[in-house]
Amino acid sequence: MKVTITLRGTLRKYFGEDKERVYDVPEGCTCDEALKIAGLDYKKIKNFGFVSINNKRVMIYDKLQEGDLLKAFSKVSGG
Amino acid sequence: MRKRRYERNHTAISQEENRILAGKKACVAGCGGLGGGVIEGLVRTGVGTVVAVDGDVFDETNLNRQVFSNEENMGKSKAEEAAVQSRLINSEVEVIAVNSFIDEKNVREIIADSDVAVDALDNAEARKMLEAACEEAGIPLVHGAVAGWNGQVSVIIPGQRMIEALYEGESVGGDENDTGNPYFTPAVISALEVAEAIKLLLGKESSLEGKLLTVDLMNHQYEIIDFGE
């Protein structure tokens, strides 16, 4: 199934100039697994914040569905 | 009393609403980049009592963005300077300086009797304490944070625990450690926090309750992410 991934904050650097990328991922693929396919291991990114599917915040191990828009945000905590 | 002080608030904020604001109390946690802008905004708008909380002092690195910092007050308390300068802006507002960092022991007393709390802090640990204390006291919380060209704002109604969701795990800081904090991002985010705080104080509905507005000033992307169940 196809999902679109887009990155925010300092995570953008992982996609270079691309605003978003479309990936073919297995059925039942989680956000974590999809990000790994896209080259991001959230556990190794110190400023990794949270993920959303279709603009609703979800857990990293939640499953994606065909056509979903997965966004990954970096952590913002300055004042 | 200056009769025309709030003339340009009207009718975005009506005269009656300005009278309501004069009887309200807001607690601003943090008097740095975000907090300075928030305090100035609340004071100019006419919120009756503003509690300005920060245990830090101004240093040279604050001059690029923190509105109450200047070349003459390096080394002085951020909270006390915010209060002193606020009195020059609007003597009808009482600004109470609390020259302390938020911690488990003082947070309940600091926010007591406030009608709204505003998060202008710079670390997850203090934010979690503030959110928990606000929940316990039934006080709505306006969250804001900045890093480089990016920022975020949220309105947290007691029970929503958005800070816990945003800053899961250990407090290791965020993008700001790599990106720095230029002037314009806290200026924008603090103004948004003021707008949300004023809405809460006036009992107006906010479209950011339980949601996070993310702001990217480099690419002009403004997105609202739903954090509800």
Query: pLDDT by residue (tens digit) across B167-222?
Result: 987 667 888 889 999 999 999 999 999 999 999 999 999 999 999 999 999 999 99
Check residue B219 and give left, alpha or beta (phi > 0: left; psi -120 to 50: alpha).
alpha
How far does B2 lie from chain A, in Å, by closest CA? Answer: 33
For residue B98, what pLDDT is reported?
98
For residue A79, tell me if it sits in a domain: no
For residue A54, tell me if it sits in a domain: yes
φ, ψ for residue B41 (rounded to 5)?
-65, -45
**B92-144 pLDDT, tens digit each:** 999 999 999 999 999 999 999 999 999 999 999 999 999 999 999 999 999 99
How far does A51 lie from chain B, in Å, by closest CA? Answer: 10
- The parent domain of residue A62 ranges over 2-74
Nearest to A50 among B120, B148, B166 (CB): B166
The yes-or-no verdict on residue B11 having pLDDT over 90 is: yes
DSSP class of A38: T
Q: What is the DSSP string of B188-203?
A: HHHHHHHHHHHHHHTT
Q: Flag if B225 and A56 touch (Cβ within 8 Å).
A: yes
**Cis amide prior to B45 (ω within 30 degrees):** no
The three-state secondary structure class of B89 is: helix
With contacts defined as CB-CB under 8 Å, which chain B residues touch A59?
Answer: none
Q: Do B26 and B48 form a contact (C-beta atoms < 8 A)?
A: no
pTM of the full structure: 0.97
Q: Do B130 and B40 form a contact (C-beta atoms < 8 A)?
A: no
- If you measure CA to CA, which chain A residue comes closest to B216? A9
Q: Region A55-68: what's the mean pLDDT?
A: 98
Looking at the structure of chain A, the number of domains it has is 1
Domains with residue ranges and CATH for chain B: 7-226 (3.40.50.720)
For residue A39, tell me if it sits in a domain: yes
Residue window 172-191, chain B: list those with CB within 8 Å of chain A.
172-179, 181, 186
- If you measure CA to CA, which chain B residue comes closest to A50? B166
Q: Hunting for tokens 């009393």 — which residue is that?
A: B1
The number of CA neighbours under 13 Å toward the Cβ of B39 is: 36
Beta strands in A1-79 (DSSP E): 2-7, 21-24, 48-53, 56-58, 69-74
Of A19, A33, A28, A32, nearest to A1 by C-alpha is A28
For residue A28, tell me if it sits in a domain: yes
Rounded distance, CA A32 to CA A34, Å? 6
A→B interface, C-beta within 8 Å:
8-10, 46-47, 49-50, 52, 55-57, 71, 73-79
Q: Would an 8 Å CB–CB cutoff place B147 in contact with chain A?
A: yes
State the sign of the Cα–Cα–Cα–Cα dihedral A6, B121, B45, B69: negative
Rounded distance, CA B39 to CA B82, Å? 7
How far does A1 lie from chain B, in Å, by closest CA? Answer: 24
Helices assigned H by DSSP within A11-78: 31-37
Q: What are the distances in angstroms from CA A61 to CA A4, A18, A51, B28, B212?
A: 17, 25, 10, 36, 21
Q: Using CA atoms in the order A20, A25, A30, A35, what is the torsion angle rounded to 10 degrees?
A: -40
Nearest to B174 among A47, A52, A57 (CB): A47
Rounded distance, CA B22 to CA B37, Å? 19
Q: Flag if A77 and B225 touch (Cβ within 8 Å).
A: no
Partners of residue B225 on adjacent β-strands: B212
Rounded distance, CA B74 to CA B81, Å? 10
**B15-63 pLDDT, tens digit each:** 999 999 999 999 999 999 999 999 999 999 999 999 999 999 999 999 9
Q: Do A36 and A17 form a contact (C-beta atoms < 8 A)?
A: no
Strand bridging mode B49-53 / A2-7: unpaired
CATH number at residue A7: 3.10.20.30
- If you measure CA to CA, which chain A residue comes closest to B221? A8
Q: Using CA atoms in the order A62, A78, B31, B73, what is the torsion angle rounded to 10 degrees?
A: 180
